[in-house]
C-alpha cells in the first residue's frame, strides 16, 4: 500500500538545498559548461598599460566593479538572513549585483521577511534582483503582494526562474508548466521593473529566448549546464516512502541534462537588444572573460561563491572577488582589450 506523504514546507526545502549544496558533489558529471573548448588568441602587442584596464560595467542603471552578479540562492528560512546579509555586505563592498533566492515563502507569510529585506539594508547602492518561480506565476500571484515585497527591497529587477527539470524531479515539485509564457507576458506588463528570465542550470536555447523576447523580456540569465546540477541536488534529498525512490532514480538519470552554458550564450546573444547573463559553471575570471567574448553582457555565479562564504567567511569571499577581477583583467590585457566593450570583440579559437 502506498503511504500518503506529507510535502515538506518551503523553508525546509530551501534549507535542504543550501545544506546539500555545501556538503555533496552536485556538479554536472562528465559534462562541462564548455569554457575549456575556447581559447583566446594571445596578443603579444597589446599596446596597453595593465593598470589602465577597466573591468567596470553598467547594469540595471548602476555601476559595477566587474560584470558579475551573485545569482539567486536563498531566503525564506531561519538561517537564510545571515547568508543573504553577508552576501549583500560583500556585494556592496565590491560593487557586484546580487540576486535573492526565491521569494515564494514571503508570498506565503511574513515569518521570514528579514531573510530578504536584510539584503537592501546591507547593500544600499547595488542592483538587487528579486526572484520567483514560473510555477508560482502560472498558478496566479497576488501581484500587489509581490510588488510590495519588491518595493521593500527596492528591487532593480525580478528574476523568474524557469526550472522545469528541477520541479519534475522534486518530490513536491510543480509539474504544470502550461501557461508559463502567458503568465510571464502578464507580469512584464504589470511590474514596474524589468524581468530577468533565468534557468537554474539546464540552460536557455535560442528558440526559448526568442519566445521570451516576443513577450517583452529583455534580460536572460542563461544558467546553463556544467555547474550546479539541480537534478543532482534533488537526488540527494531524502523522503520516506516508495515514490521517493523513483524520484531519486529519475533525478540521478537526468543529472547531466541541459544545454552547456557556452552554447546558451552564443544562441541567446543572437537576439538583438537582449541583455545576456552567462551563468552555470562559471569558475573564475577567465570564464567571465570568455563569456563576454562569446556574447554575454554579464556573468553570474552561485554555488562556488556560496561555498567560499560558508567555509571561509565574508572576508575570504571579498578576496576571491578581487582575485576573479585580477584574472579577468589579465585576460583583457593579453587580448588587447582596454574595457569590457573591447573584450566583446576579442579573438578566440575553438578547440576541436
Ligand X SMILES: Cc1cc2nc3c(=O)[nH]c(=O)nc-3n(C[C@H](O)[C@H](O)[C@H](O)COP(=O)(O)O)c2cc1C
- Map residue 43 onto helix, strand or coil: coil
Q: How far is the CB of 27 from ligand X (least distance, A)?
A: 8
Helices 285-294 and 261-268 cross at an angle (nearest 10°) of 30
Question: 246 vs 14, 73, 170, 253, CA distance in Å?
Answer: 22, 26, 11, 10
# binding residues, ligand X (CB under 6 A):
27
Q: Round to whole Å and give the CA distance between 222 and 224.
A: 5
- Identify the residue among 74, 185, 275, 335 touching ligand X (CB under 6 A): 74
If one asks whether residue 290 binds ligand X (CB under 6 A), the answer comes out as: no
Q: How far is the CB of 336 from ligand X (least distance, A)?
A: 29
If one asks whether residue 70 binds ligand X (CB under 6 A), the answer comes out as: no
Stretch that binds ligand X, among 1-9, 71-79, 311-319, 330-338 (CB under 6 A): 71-79
Closest-CB residue for ligand X? 227
Q: Round to whole Å and give the CA distance between 310 and 33.
A: 24
Stretch that binds ligand X, among 5-13, 106-114, 194-202, 245-253 (CB under 6 A): 194-202
Contact 101, 161 (CB under 8 A): no
Q: How far is the CB of 201 from ligand X (least distance, A)?
A: 4
Nearer to ligand X, 161 or 329 (CB): 161
Q: Pick out residues in 229-248 that bind ligand X (CB under 6 A).
A: none
Nearest one of 243, 234, 335, 255 to 290, comparing CA atoms: 335
If one asks whether residue 228 binds ligand X (CB under 6 A), the answer comes out as: yes
Q: Round to whole Å and give the CA distance between 120 and 270.
A: 34
Stretch that binds ligand X, among 60-68, 250-258, 279-287, 318-326 (CB under 6 A): 279-287
At 133, phi and psi to the nearest 5? -85, 150
List the alpha helices (DSSP H) in 215-283.
230-235, 242-253, 261-268
Q: How far is the CB of 342 from ligand X (least distance, A)?
A: 26
If one asks whether residue 11 binds ligand X (CB under 6 A), the answer comes out as: no
If one asks whether residue 200 binds ligand X (CB under 6 A), the answer comes out as: yes
Q: Round to whole Å and give the CA distance between 111 and 114.
A: 8
If one asks whether residue 102 binds ligand X (CB under 6 A), the answer comes out as: yes
Q: How far is the CB of 316 from ligand X (least distance, A)?
A: 17
Q: Round to whole Å and give the CA distance between 245 and 229.
A: 19
The x, y and z cell numbers of residue 95, run together, are 560593487
Q: How far is the CB of 305 from ligand X (least distance, A)?
A: 8
- Identify the residue among 67, 72, 85, 285 touching ligand X (CB under 6 A): 72
Stretch that binds ligand X, among 1-9, 72-80, 140-148, 236-244 (CB under 6 A): 72-80
Q: Round to whole Å and give the CA distance between 264 and 206.
A: 7
- Map residue 234 onto helix, strand or coil: helix
Contacts for 228 with CB less than 8 Å, ≥ 6 apart: 21, 26, 27, 201, 280, 281, 302, 303
- Identify the residue among 201, 203, 285, 336 touching ligand X (CB under 6 A): 201
If one asks whether residue 325 binds ligand X (CB under 6 A), the answer comes out as: no
Binding-site string for ligand X from residue 134 to residue 163, where x marks contact by CB under 6 A and - marks none: -------------------------x-x--
Judged by the rule CB under 6 A, the positions of this chain that interact with ligand X are: 17-18, 21, 71-74, 101-102, 131, 159, 161, 198, 200-201, 223, 227-228, 279-282, 301-304, 306
Amino acid at each position: 500500500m502506498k503511504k500518503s506523504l506529507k510535502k515538506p514546507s518551503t523553508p525546509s526545502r530551501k534549507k535542504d538545498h543550501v545544506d546539500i549544496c555545501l556538503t555533496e558533489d552536485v556538479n554536472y558529471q562528465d559534462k562541462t559548461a564548455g569554457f575549456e573548448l575556447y581559447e583566446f588568441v594571445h596578443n603579444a602587442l597589446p599596446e596597453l598599460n595593465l593598470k589602465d584596464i577597466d573591468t567596470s560595467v553598467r547594469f540595471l542603471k548602476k555601476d559595477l566593479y566587474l560584470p558579475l552578479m551573485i545569482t539567486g540562492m536563498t531566503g525564506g528560512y531561519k538561517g537564510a538572513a545571515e547568508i543573504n546579509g553577508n552576501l549583500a555586505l560583500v556585494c556592496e563592498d565590491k560593487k557586484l549585483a546580487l540576486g535573492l533566492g526565491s521569494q515564494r515563502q514571503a508570498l506565503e507569510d511574513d515569518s521570514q521577511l528579514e531573510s530578504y529585506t536584510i539584503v537592501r539594508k546591507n547593500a544600499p547602492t547595488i542592483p538587487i534582483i528579486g526572484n520567483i518561480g514560473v510555477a508560482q506565476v502560472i498558478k496566479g500571484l497576488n501581484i500587489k503582494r509581490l510588488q510590495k515585497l519588491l518595493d521593500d527591497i527596492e528591487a532593480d529587477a525580478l528574476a523568474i526562474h524557469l526550472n522545469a527539470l528541477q520541479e519534475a524531479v522534486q518530490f513536491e515539485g510543480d509539474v504544470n508548466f502550461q501557461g508559463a509564457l502567458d503568465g510571464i507576458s502578464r507580469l512584464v506588463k504589470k511590474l514596474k521593473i524589468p524581468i530577468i528570465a533565468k534557468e537554474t542550470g539546464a540552460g536557455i536555447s535560442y528558440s526559448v529566448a526568442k519566445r521570451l523576447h516576443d513577450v517583452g523580456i529583455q534580460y536572460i540569465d542563461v544558467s546553463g549546464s556544467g555547474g550546479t546540477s539541480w537534478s543532482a541536488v534533488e537526488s540527494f534529498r531524502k523522503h520516506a516512502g516508495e515514490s521517493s525512490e523513483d524520484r531519486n532514480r529519475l533525478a540521478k538519470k537526468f543529472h547531466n541534462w541541459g544545454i552547456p552554458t557556452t552554447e546558451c550564450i552564443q544562441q541567446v546573444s543572437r537576439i538583438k537588444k537582449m541583455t545576456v547573463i552567462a551563468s552555470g559553471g562559471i569558475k573564475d575570471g577567465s570564464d567571465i572573460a570568455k563569456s563576454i567574448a562569446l556574447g554575454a553582457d554579464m556573468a553570474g555565479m552561485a554555488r562556488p561563491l556560496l561555498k567560499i562564504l560558508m567555509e571561509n567567511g565574508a572576508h575570504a569571499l571579498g578576496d576571491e572577488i578581487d582575485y576573479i577581477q585580477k584574472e579577468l583583467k589579465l585576460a583583457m590585457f593579453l587580448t588587447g582589450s582596454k574595457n569590457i566593450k573591447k573584450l566583446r570583440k576579442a579573438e578566440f579559437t575553438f578547440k576541436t
